[in-house]
Amino acid sequence: MKTTYIYLRVSTDEQAREGFSIENQRKACVDFAQMRGYHVKQVFIEDGKSARTTDRAALQEMLKAVRELDKVDAIIIYKIDRFARNVSDFSRMFIDFKSQGIKLISVNEGDLTEGTSLIPNIFASVAQWESEVNSQRTRDALLQKFREGWQPTPPPVGYRSVGGDRERKTCEPDPLIAPVIRQLFEMYATGNYSIFELQFWLADQNITSRTGTPIGHSVVGNTLNNPFYYGLIRWHGEAKMGNHQPLISKDLYDTCHYVLAKNRNFLMRRRTHQFLLRGFLYCSECGQRYNAEWHKDGEKFKHRDGQRIGYYHCPKHGRNGCPSRYVATDKMEPMMQDFMDSIEFSQEFIDAVVQEARSKVDGMRQHGAGEAQACINQKAALEGRRNKLEDALLDGTIERDVFKRKHADIQAQVNLVLARMQEVEQRNKIDLDIIEQVLAFCRDVGQSYNDGDFGIKRHYLRFFFDKVMIKNKLIEEVVYTPIIAALQDLRLVIIKQGMLPRLDSNQQPSD
């Protein structure tokens, strides 16, 4: 009995609607094989892959079977453009099949191995041309979509695609996921959370990838670094503000972008033991960044909590000629508090911040009131439509199935408006909290630092310092961040240099 393999492929939902679905192809090919007396040994199915190259899993599996496993008398395909749209690849496979005595038979074009290869290659050329034309049309459509203000690619997590097909789709915030993504940005902007911690938090919120797996570390980082969330869309090197509804403000995005950059410098991640100055302290002797660790001794440290003491130290301590010494955390961290007490902003700077804060609050009040009133008006209009719809049901002037469909649609819109009202209220509250913290920080740096929790203190340290150089257990020098250096040049921030502890050449610090 003659044997055959069948190869099937469909690349898009549109082809499925046009009659190229896998099931339609399978039925046509199997019926074709049976009518001609072929026993089908295996059906190879390629679902959703481009046919412009031979780099397709099912095709490679079939070619391997032909070479190494069971040789067959024929390979049946539905149509040449389902098999290959590249003339050179088609010719190579065609010649290879023919040399092995294997027929290549198309349900639509017939036995391709009969006669010369001219006609099959013409069919393949037409298929390749058609593929190139379709690709160009798709590129043009996606470019036009970008010009009209819509992201050509699928939207990121927090949005859902709506309306149209393929390149005609737009997007809107997902009512369930969008608030979580917005909160993700707000949490990260505080500087209190690492990406690892946010990764676990998203898992607790039941936010998963499209495949149902937990959101990966890199995905969280890419999300926080994606300008799409404040409204910017990008396509092939171009960028513009899109038509989609932003989830966050540009200011919040910039804050997160700044925290991301600082955390890359200081390698912020989940740790079993947290040390306040980890990542900031450097050895003046050899330039190495200090490590931090606990030393435990039940007898020596019996009067301490946990019978242990924390130390910062150079990793080359006692090696390579580095004379640096261990410094206890409860000695080093108060020194940093004293140094923060020595920093103050000029009155000119404070006045400028207050003026900006006042302007911000006034703008928030006006914008928030406008947004809130718009939501109230929209909610009232929807409720009016819903009341009329319910009256029509009572009067018997509307069909039940029509009522259910329209009533559900109106209720969904009402729910979105209610969520928007809550979002406006919460956003304004968060902004005011931030303004209050900024003003307190500007007026008294040392007190704000002292009052802050671990995360806030780390945030302040990242704002001021790139490096704090340590020698003989004391702060010898500090390297400020570019923004603080610039403010110093403008005399808008004042740092009392006398606060840097100095040792006489003959003086030795006590342990």
DSSP single-letter state for residue 168: G
> φ and ψ at 441, to 5 degrees?
-65, -45
Alpha-carbon distance of 306 to 283, in angstroms, equals 28
What residue type is assigned to position 365 of the chain?
R
Residue 228 confidence (pLDDT) above 90: yes
Alpha-carbon distance of 398 to 437, in angstroms, equals 56
Q: What is the pTM of this model?
A: 0.42
Residue 70 confidence (pLDDT) above 50: yes
Alpha-carbon distance of 438 to 432, in angstroms, equals 10
Residue 3 confidence (pLDDT) above 60: yes
> What residues contact 420, with CB distance under 8 A and at least 6 apart?
371, 375
> What residues contact 4, with CB distance under 8 A and at least 6 apart?
33, 38, 39, 40, 41, 72, 73, 74, 75, 76, 105
DSSP single-letter state for residue 216: P
How confident is the model over 304-325, as a mean pLDDT?
Answer: 80
> What residues contact 187, with CB distance under 8 A and at least 6 apart?
193, 198, 201
Residue 301 confidence (pLDDT) above 70: no
Alpha-carbon distance of 257 to 267, in angstroms, equals 15
- The pLDDT > 70 percentage for the chain reads 78
Q: Tell me the per-residue pLDDT of 404-459, one tens digit each, with 9 for 90 and over.
A: 888 888 888 888 888 778 777 765 555 566 667 777 888 899 998 998 888 788 88
Residue 125 confidence (pLDDT) above 70: no
Which of 464, 447, 448, 465 lies closest to 456 in space, CA to CA?
448
With contact defined as beta carbons under 8 Å apart, do 227 and 238 qualify?
no
How confident is the model over 306-328, as a mean pLDDT?
Answer: 83
Query: What is the per-residue DSSP string for 241-280?
Result: E-SSPPSS-HHHHHHHHHHHHHHHHHT----SS--TTTTT
**pLDDT for residue 48:** 58
Two tokens, residue 290: 């200090």
Tokens 């892959």, residue? Answer: 49
**pLDDT for residue 331:** 92
Answer with the residue of higher pLDDT: 131 or 219. Answer: 219
Residue 16 confidence (pLDDT) above 70: no
> φ and ψ at 110, to 5 degrees?
85, -165
Alpha-carbon distance of 227 to 54, in angstroms, equals 36
How confident is the model over 361-378, as a mean pLDDT?
Answer: 77
Instruction: Give the chain's end-to-end CA distance (angstroms, integer).
Output: 93
Tokens 């301590």, residue? Answer: 317
Q: Tell me the per-residue pLDDT of 258-277, one tens digit each, with 9 for 90 and over.
A: 777 766 544 444 445 578 99
Query: What is the per-residue DSSP string for 458-477?
Result: HHHHHHHEEEEEEETTEEEE
**pLDDT for residue 167:** 58
Pairing outcome for strands 238-241 and 232-235: antiparallel
Q: Tell me the per-residue pLDDT of 454-507, one tens digit each, with 9 for 90 and over.
A: 878 888 888 888 899 999 899 988 898 888 888 888 888 887 755 554 444 344
Rounded mean pLDDT of the chain? 79
Residue 58 confidence (pLDDT) above 90: no
- Please give the C-alpha separations between residue 292 and each of 332, 415, 452, in angstroms, as whole numbers: 11, 51, 21
Q: Tell me the per-residue pLDDT of 139-186, one tens digit each, with 9 for 90 and over.
A: 777 778 888 888 888 889 999 888 766 556 888 999 889 999 999 999
- For residue 127, name the pLDDT band (cuts at 50, 70, 90): low
How confident is the model over 182-209, as a mean pLDDT?
Answer: 86
The phi-psi region of residue 37 (left if phi > 0; otherwise alpha if psi is between -120 and 50; otherwise beta) is left
Distance of CA 378 to the CA centre of its chain: 32
Helices 217-224 and 250-266: angle between axes, nearest 10 degrees = 130
